[in-house]
Amino acid sequence: MNAPAPEVTEHANRRSGGRLGRKALRGAPVTSFPTLVRQIPVYQMVPDEAVELIHEESLLILEEVGCEFRDDEAIALWKAAGADVSETRVRIDRALLMELVSKVPSEFTLNARNPQRTVRVGGNNTIFVPMYGAPYVRDLDNNRRYGTLADLNNFHKLAYMAPALHSSSSVICEPMEIAVPKRHLHIIHSALKHSDKPFMGIVTSKERAEDTMAMAGVVFGEDYVRDNPVLVSITNCNSPLVWDATMLDAMKVYARSNQPLILAPFALCGASTSASAVGAVAQVNAEALAGVAFTQLLRPGSPQIYGQFMVTVDMKTGAPMGGTPEAAQMMYLMGALARKYRLPWRTSGFHVGSKLNDAQAGYEANMLMHAAILAGANYIWHSAGWLEAGLTCGYSKFATDCEQLIGWYKYAGGLPFDDFKEAMAAIREVGPQGHFLGTQHTLEHFESAFFMPSIMDFNSFEQWKAEGAKDHDTRGREKARNMLADYEEPKLDEGIADGLMDFIARREERLPDSVS
């Protein structure tokens, strides 16, 4: 495995408005922008004293109430570290907790099979990652149905082709026709075959996590993946205050191989937390810190991601809601806490409750992505495709989200001043009552000066009507269909491709066809 290409590494450490960024933003044939290096300040919604108050209460939760770790090996590790353990309840002294949390690096490199797609996570860096885990799809004919392996292949292709997506995720949608015990093999194979960007692991059992690492070893080399991050996996604390055996098993597999985990409580605020945004953050912070600390018992210094998934609950129906103001406010608080601990952190971008790629979806998505960007998130997950509180991945939503991410990439990259002198010269050249369309400055910059989306429609009413009066959802499906028609596979080495298929065949012989 080689180091990232020099031009990508160099670009990742300077303004995203540089030459390479401008070339990509005007539609050059690339499949991934470099890591977004944010050039805008973070926004802290509350004063430092409020952040300290939440921090203090989170420590008290872990010291006085404790957190469940429902796994014998985890309990033994906590006992050996000096925590107060009673059966599966672990109470963690603040000194021990913060000593462990401090071992996590503030930044790390996430390696791709194509080194030019390698990215940095943490610090001022941001990457965008598509959604995960939908059993349903809203397809190219606008039908809602169960996802298939063909759909998953398509979403991995779209993720590969979307320049502002930095990862292919893994379970963008579930291939429901494949037996659950064998499904993970085909999910990981699809991510590795159809894209050369970083990907995500499987956490639904220890054996499936081990299979994921074995398949990564085929592609990257077994020695390489024992130490170098090539994938990110998600582990959820069961709020309130329970890390269960399944999640802990996955943590043990990945952390011991130096692969980063997102330690993210899954909080339905008002149901699995108190009906208070600030109270929910204090609880979720305690849960996340407990998970982060545990990874350092497994492998000190391993890269990890402080995370959260926090949505509010409709108190009339119990349904989770997407882009609410409280969800955005909680992101700002979590961002401030992550900066305090110097931890890379994950949040979600375009996760919405809308069933369709409609106005509600747009309003919800904008509320959350704006907060994610301004709060300084490093790993913005669910950034493409998410509908219906995550139950559905939509082809149209995926395509339109990916286009919007280009705009967010440019927004967070800050305002470049590199052509300001030439722009002022153009004003003097044109003078009063003229126009700028023929000036040298315009000819040199018209493609890159402004974000110019292709799916959104800015034509006159007459022109829009003449072209079929298509709404945004329809244009998104057309965009997805056209992208798939243009897809070219980033081929694996023949020996690696055969090695993956051989591994899948051998594992499928040993795995049952159904869950017992």
The full 3-state SS of 423-434, as one line of letters, equals HHHHHHHHCCCC
In this structure, are residues 310 and 284 in contact, taking their beta carbons and an 8 Å threshold? yes
Q: What is the CA radius of gyration of the chain?
A: 23
pLDDT along the chain (516 residues), means of 10: 34 38 44 93 96 98 98 98 98 98 98 97 98 98 98 98 97 98 98 98 98 98 96 96 98 98 90 90 97 98 94 80 89 97 96 95 96 97 96 98 97 94 94 92 89 94 96 97 97 97 98 86
Alpha carbons 376 and 166: distance in angstroms, whole number:
17
| pLDDT in the model for residue 13 | 35
User: Do 383 and 132 form a contact (C-beta atoms < 8 A)?
Assistant: no
Look at residue 314 and give its three-state secondary structure.
coil
Q: What pLDDT is recorded for position 500?
A: 98
Tokens for 86, please give them. Answer: 């009673």
Angstrom CA distances, 291 to 59, 244, 332, stand at 13, 11, 21
pLDDT at 448: 85
Nearest to 187 by CA among 228, 220, 148, 161: 148
478 three-class SS = helix
What CA–CA distance (Å, rounded) separates 423 from 461? Answer: 33
Place of tokens 């109270």: 279
Report DSSP state, residue 228: S
Strand partners of residue 387: 392
86: three-class secondary structure by DSSP? strand
